Structure 1
């Protein structure tokens, strides 16, 4: 006999042992004891499951039939609740665990300051300690984040903006510091002079008086932009109303500069070319001895042959034998002198000199023209002269000399 178990009602498992155990079960059924399961282990030993409310009546009947009854287990919600009443700590434990977890998650455990220099970071940390915003502070004790942001900017010098974020137990401050523009170095009174022998093409005067004009030919050291404002005309004295004023001349002057380069080509190197003729000799090496097989005179067939040798080792079942065959091939070669055509020489000369010239020029310089001036043969060598036109800045600062 077996019924489904009702967890809400619960059940009690009993062992019944005695001569009258069967009569006891029949009498209990007449008394309407609710058996959920009856299992006969032997004629004198039964194992039954009954409702908890019938346990008292079952004990009374067992005594009257002289049957020993023992409670094996108690299952179901009624017994679990009864056990919890006796163990209040077990019920309160999870509640306190989640309560403590919630409280700890509402505390700032880390304060991260990013984007600040060590000095500014130290100042922010000191201010936060004075305001009691340190690890261990509760979220409820923190001011609103937008208010905290404004307070940090106003309290700490050198801070332009602060982004404040609260991520769990971590308080993050992203700092943007003030960046003051570098103060320009005050320049002394100066002229702008030419660094090259060139023709002025373009002038950009920021401060000072232009002395030269586009198209003028200048020598190194000549003044291009004067640092004297309102200079008097030659032969005239400055008026009292507009006296000359000395400043630091500034500007840029682009000039056309000429460069010349020479490239010398020597006759090409001798090249060794194979004619296609060859002779082959065969040998056998055994136990350190060399035995000629064929082509003993092959080494004498050519004057300066190219020699290639190929050795083959013999193996049987993976074992290498002390026996080798060797083939030696002798190739005939001839010497020829390599010569470059004239146009190839000129192209090579331009490429070589252009590459070397660009390495020496400033980055903003531009090669505007190139020309081969002349080509001549000297003592079996070819010499090519080239002319380059380069547009570059020819201006440099020059201090004023007393009396300018």
Structure 2
């Protein structure tokens, strides 16, 4: 590898040697310690049917100048076929000086323009900070468009200094993307202040059997396995003795078993859309929201299909060209009908019961125990009626009336 670069630096030539005995010329070069890079013999047919042996060798420019005495000694003649290396390239370039000067000026201007900050992008994770605030802080520090990149400190130093101007940020990162600077900011998450609540009780939201009770503030009134009705006090907001009572905002968790009737219906036949595995790609010209199919580009088959698009447009800063090219990936689909047995429909109906209970009481529910009351199949559907028992949070707030508060005081 080093010898190849050295040959390019010094220059090499390909010489064609002709004569009565070209092999004698090769022996003479070996005797004169001339290094031959490549050598090959070939025969050429001249006019009249005569055949001539030709020796083609590749050697350095310095060794090529030493061939003249050997040519006279062997009676051969030579012709330069090709020249390689920096000396010959510079010689050709010197004959076209204007092109060389233009290429150097273009390289210099391109290098200078690549060292300028042309745009500053901001990516914020949060809702309190705005892009204008981050750009103003970056400009105060010195990071703004049309500044020399080499006049700015490293990105780690800039990110550390921006903390002084953006106190609400928990993490700041600065990244170079060519001539564009990207500032990423993650906002500091602050706990929301808890609202001040007045004196209140926690009462039962429905008839239930208490399974667990935990009072953070206030006095628990019921115990587990107690039956309560809607409106009964579960955790009282009155604390203290009978002589001196204080009204507080009762807080805690009360879980209880409730009972309900749920009716669901499940069809025995369902129509689903499946992929066939066939795909194709086609292209279109985009102008705004419109698409113009290119004739003869891609495939367009009839039938059901799902199209996924990817848009390619030109961008320059915040400007986006309305003209672009759309790559559409078409996936073939078909409609299939699935027929369930009555046992499969029953399993699906039990899953629907769980969904109906979650929709009615929320997702934070305990295990659902159902007792099937009625099963009926009619009009290609299975109707199911069940009595369910589920554990939910049964506590709800009830403010302490001012009259009750004054009477107790």
Report the TM-score when normalising by structure 2: 0.47
TM-score, normalised to structure 1, is 0.47
Max radius of gyration: which structure?
1
